Amino acid sequence: MRYSLFALAREAFRSHRGWQPVWRDAAPRPHYDVIIVGGGGHGLATAYYLAERFGIRNVAVLEKGWIGSGNAGRNTTIIRSNYLLPGNQPFYELSMQLWESLEQQLNYNTMVSQRGVLNLFHSDAQRDAFARRGNAMLLSGADAELLDADDVRRMLPLLDFDNARFPIKGGLLQRRGGTARHDAVVWGYARGASELGVDIVQNCEVTGFVRDGDRVVGVETSRGRIGCGSVGLAVAGSSSRVAKMLGLRLPIESHLIQAFVSEGIKPLIPGVVTFGAGHFYISQSDKGGLVFGGDIDGYNSYAQRGNLPVIEDVCEGGMALMPSIGRVRILRNWAGLLDMSMDGSPIIDRAPIEGVYLNAGWCYGGFKATPASGLCFAHLIANGSSHPVATELRLDRFAAGHLIDEKGRGAQPNLH
Amino acid sequence: MRINCPYCGERDLGEFVYFGDPVPRPDPSAADAAQRFHDSVYLRDNPAGPHQELWYHAYGCRGWLRVTRDTRTHAMLGSAFASDPA
């Protein structure tokens, strides 16, 4: 069923009794050409693009819980393409372009809102670094504007511009960046994939892999054995746990990042704003809640909940940036699991086992990458070669020394 | 989360800095030293469950601790000075 103004009007006249389930909850069949492990945004996008772009429709997405129940529903929904390095930026700009056409492509309201992403700077040196990053963005075809303090003051008069320690000198603005509705992205891709014949199998935990010689030819699951031509892992947060079933060790540690939502207030913050002198970022949801976060907790964890020192640090960052939010009450907070890779950049590559492909290491930036991750992973699985914008996101780059370390901090995952 | 320092007692997480897995430095004269350094610098078991890790008691005794902690629950399962025999 296609969504349109006509369909909405028709359903309004018959008390909305005609709406169909958005996607098909399938039972697993004995064999598929491709199995995608992980029913989050990346796994569903991969299945969608396999069917839509590459004509591979005999595909299953296996999800341990229900789709979108992991990190796809735990992020702060920001989309942007403001990276520096040539291994990353063209990939994220492709993702940004896919976001811009996603609703028409999927015929589904993913609430993409290009409300702008503003990174504030507080010193001359930081301005130089941001100007350099802005130029790298422009070279990749993205948009970037370097604002001075007066420009920022017109956009966000509530900020503490003359803070004694962290005066705001300006910002790097990407107007095309913004936010999208994360649950709708999951359902939009699920619907698109399902309509093209992909089986979405929920409550189906992968417990092992079936090998024929050196090759993986199927998976053992809580709903029985399922054969496959090839298998793609899209289980960021838990990649090491799944890879362990294949005898693989990955250049990844699982960490936590916390997110926070305040009570709903009137419109206050027009876009996404990041503090440059600490780690704090904030936007305002359509319901009015302030959505914000900061640093990762910094220790290995699968607990999906964080600790108080980081909460204090995040709130201090918020108070240094915009003291006016000090009386707003926090309604809830939670944590998501991160595949923190050793250089802070993702991996879309073959695994060193025939028939297995790996999509992992998304650190705290997986949501914005969802469309390009799906497209590039599908390209890799369908063609056996990397998509042109994902050629550097290799698993062997750590051994080869071709790291993609945006911050230049070395192999210490909690510093990226 | 609180960490039990053998010298200072049980102290708040905010006093500690996390380093990560206690990976021994490989033998640089080994025939496969490049592979061993790659494995020790980059590859991790990253278990969901008991995990051995190094913490630095920065705002306390400034000792390096080897802590065993369950990564699923944050339960502390033991701690000792890193210099003690494992």
* CA–CA distances in Å: residue A107 to residues A5, A16, A110, A289: 12, 19, 9, 27
Interacting residues of B26 by C-beta distance below 8 A, sequence separation 6+: B33, B36, B37, B39, B40
Backbone angles phi, psi at B37, to 5 degrees: -65, -40
Contact B48 A253 (CB under 8 A): no
A-B C-beta contacts closer than 8 Å = 66
Instruction: Flag whether residue A316 sits within 8 Å of chain B, measured between CB atoms.
Output: no
Q: Name every chain B residue with its beta carbon within 8 A of the beta carbon of A397.
A: none
Which chain A residues are within 8 Å of B18, Cβ to Cβ? 298-299, 414
**Per-residue pLDDT at A1:** 77
Identity at A86, one-letter amino acid code = P
Distance CA A289, CA A310 (A): 20
**Complex ipTM:** 0.96
Residue A366 confidence (pLDDT): 96
Residues of B in contact with A249 (CB under 8 A): 39, 43-45
| Spatial separation of the C-alpha atoms in residues B53 and A414, rounded to whole Å | 13
**Cβ A126 vs Cβ A166: under 8 Å:** no
Within 8 A of B39 by CB-CB distance, chain A residues are 249
Check pLDDT > 70 for residue B86: no
DSSP H/E element including A5: helix A5-13
Which tokens sit at A39? Answer: 């029913």
How crowded is residue B69: how many other Cβ atoms within 10 Å of its Cβ?
Answer: 23
Q: What are phi and psi of A200, to 5 degrees?
A: -100, 110
Question: Could you read off the pLDDT of A373-410 as tens digits, one per residue?
Answer: 999 999 999 999 999 999 999 999 999 999 999 999 99
Phi–psi pair at A361, nearest 5 degrees = 70, 35
Q: Hey, are the CB atoms on B73 and A303 less than 8 Å from each other?
A: yes
CA–CA gap between residue A401 and residue A87 (Å, rounded): 13
> Of 3.30.1380.10, 3.90.45.10, 3.40.190.10, 3.30.9.10, which CATH number belongs to A117-176+253-341?
3.30.9.10
Q: Say how far apart CA A372 and CA A389 lie, in whole Å.
A: 9
Q: Is A133 helix (H, G, I), strand (E, B) or coil?
A: helix
With pLDDT > 90 as the criterion, what percentage of chain A qualifies? 99
Contact A300 B46 (CB under 8 A): yes
Mean pLDDT of B52-59: 97
CB-nearest partner of A309 from B13, B46, B48: B13
Residue of chain A minimizing CA distance to B38: A399
Domain boundaries, chain A: 23-81+83-108+182-251+343-415, 117-176+253-341
- Residue labelled with tokens 């250089």: A343
> What average pLDDT score do residues A297-318 get?
96
Query: Does position A220 have pLDDT exceeding 70, yes or no?
Result: yes
Centre a 10 Å sphere on the Cβ of residue A272 and count the other Cβ atoms it contains: 26
Report percent pLDDT > 70 for chain B: 99
Q: Answer yes or no: do B53 and A300 touch at CB < 8 A.
A: yes
How would DSSP label each residue in A182-198?
Answer: HHHHHHHHHHHHHHTT-
d(CA A322, CA A396): 43
Q: What is the CATH number of domain B2-81?
A: 3.30.2270.10
Does the domain made of A23-81+83-108+182-251+343-415 have the CATH classification 3.40.190.10? no
Contacts of A414 in chain B (CB under 8 A): 18, 20
Residues A185-219 have pLDDT tens digits of: 999 999 999 999 999 999 999 999 999 999 999 99
Q: Do A254 and B42 touch (CB under 8 A)?
A: no
Distance CA B78, CA A101 (A): 53
User: How many CB atoms lie under 10 A from the CB of residue A55?
Assistant: 9
Instruction: Tell me the average pLDDT of chain A.
Output: 96
Residues 13-52 of B with CB under 8 A from A: 13-14, 18, 20, 38-39, 41-48, 51
- Does the beta carbon of A301 lie under 8 angstroms from any beta carbon of chain B? yes
CB contact under 8 A, B39 and A307: no
Nearest-by-Cβ selection for B38 from A253, A312, A398? A398
Sign, Cα dihedral of A228, A232, A234, A240? positive
Domain ranges of chain B: 2-81
pTM for the model: 0.96
